[in-house]
Amino acid sequence: MFTKFTNCHLIDNGELYEFTDLYVNQKTNKICSKPNNLELITKTIDLDGQLLAPGFLDIQNNGIYGLNFSNLNSDSSEEDVSEFKNFYKDAMTKYLSTGVTGLCPTVTSNFPEVYPKVLPLYKKSRLSNQCDSLGAHLEGPFINLKKKGCHPVETFVDAKEGTSKLNEIYGDELDNVCIITAAPEIEGVLDLIPEITSKNCVYSIGHTMSDYETGKKAIELGCTMITHLYNAMPQPHHRDAGVVGLISSPDVKETPYFGLICDGVHVDPSMANIAYKSNPNKCILVTDAMHLIGLADGRYKWDEQVIVKTGDRLYLENTDTLAGASTTLPQCIRNLMEWSKISLPQAIKTVTNNPAVSIGLQNERGFLNVGCDADFVVLDKHGYVKKIYKLGNEFKSSDIPEKPVNNRVTAVL
């Protein structure tokens, strides 16, 4: 039996495919070719001229709806873990309403006893009722003290002991990991890159004081990504490009993918535009969301620190240190469209095709190709998510404009 999506325009590969039908095999919940026997189409969904795109992928996200993805430790009891699992399920169900159908739960720098507790929960999933885990993103603790951000410095380590140190920190849970962010200048980290990538994990440069040459060495050894470009790294100079210069480097065989936080807080719009225009096929929009996304403004305790949330802005109390973001991925998409004057299909590519390829899931997610999962978002022409389909189930969207959209001003399709 098959489902037919009709009277819609498909968005994929940065292009708009007008009035193109799409078919889903109800048994596998995967996209399929048009069935030879049309009588087997038992469900037809008329989208009334709206846009259908792959579900969004968020590969750097620290927490959602009050849930901190790092919030278990050696003292956590079985009851604590059980409560955390229920909280996780609830939060991932809510996050689906933003149009994100898959994310990398991001665990910030932590002590070794934390990883065995949380990583089993983040193994790759394929669910029909909530946002999926794509595998964890481990951000630290092999990072530079000078670019610590809000990471707890007491957890920081070097890697001079080699593979044994990797195992000592993360344990035996790398099968549940998608990305590891580490600073290549930290002793031993460069030597660990081939080991990390051999585990089917992406190595990403981040929270670093690395210079351009060290970044090049990291790429030669298997680095394929940069974590939240511009943030927690030396800023580029026209004679000293640094890590940022790697995204358009003529000196490497393959330029790395790079995360970009388009919330208007972490990166100035003009700098976001420069990065995107430098290499649009490697740009990946990320939320870098903190667990305060979806919560009201106010003061929130986080371990031994206090975060102040004011709208989309999150800062450590009484400092100018950013503590993450609380802007949704659909809003980041609309921001990039405005800042770079690009079309909706071009912007959608940065949260679907690009992240899927960057973590090797292009045959499963992030595209509208035959064989990919039936995870979709339905959009209007302004880039607002109207509804979500997750493996055959329809969900309401929480991506609602605060003010009515001016019909005279529409997104460029």
CB 150 within 8 A of CB 314: no
What is the reported pLDDT for 411? 40
What is the reported pLDDT for 316? 85
Question: What percent of the chain shows pLDDT beyond 90?
Answer: 83
For residue 55, name the pLDDT band (cuts at 50, 70, 90): very high
What is the reported pLDDT for 324? 66
Alpha carbons within 13 angstroms on the beta-carbon side of residue 119 total 23
Mean pLDDT to the nearest integer, 343-348:
98
Mean pLDDT to the nearest integer, 220-242:
96
The pairing of beta strand 375-379 with beta strand 385-390: antiparallel
What is the reported pLDDT for 312? 75
Kindly tell me if the per-residue pLDDT of 257 is higher than 60. Answer: yes
What is the reported pLDDT for 294? 74
The pLDDT tens digits for 74-84 are 889 999 999 99
pTM for this model (two decimals): 0.94
Residue 251 and residue 379 in one domain: no
Q: Annotated binding site for Zn(2+): which residue ranges?
A: 139, 207, 228
Cα Dmax for the chain: 66
Kindly tell me if the per-residue pLDDT of 169 is higher than 60. Answer: yes
What is the reported pLDDT for 409? 35
CATH number, domain of 36, equals: 2.30.40.10
Does some domain include residue 407?
no
Does some domain include residue 405?
no
Does some domain include residue 413?
no
> d(Cα 259, Cα 257) in Å, to the nearest integer?
7
For the annotated catalytic residues, the residue numbers are 288
Q: Annotated binding site for substrate: which residue ranges?
A: 150, 231-232, 239, 266, 322-324
Q: Work out how many domains the chain is built from and give that number.
A: 2
What is the reported pLDDT for 53? 98
Kindly tell me if the per-residue pLDDT of 403 is higher than 80. Answer: no
The pLDDT tens digits for 286-316 are 999 888 787 788 888 877 788 888 877 788 8
Domain of residue 378: give its range.
2-53+370-396
CATH number, domain of 183, equals: 3.20.20.140
Mean pLDDT to the nearest integer, 337-350:
98
The pLDDT tens digits for 39-54 are 999 999 999 999 999 9
Does some domain include residue 155?
yes
Q: Annotated binding site: which residue ranges?
A: 139, 150, 207, 228, 231-232, 239, 266, 322-324
Residue 175 and residue 300 in one domain: yes
Residue 189 and residue 175 in one domain: yes
What is the reported pLDDT for 408? 35
Q: Which is more confident, 150 or 329?
A: 329
Q: Which of 307, 295, 285, 270 is nearest to 358 (CA)?
A: 285
Q: If you average pLDDT over every residue of the chain, what do you get? A: 93
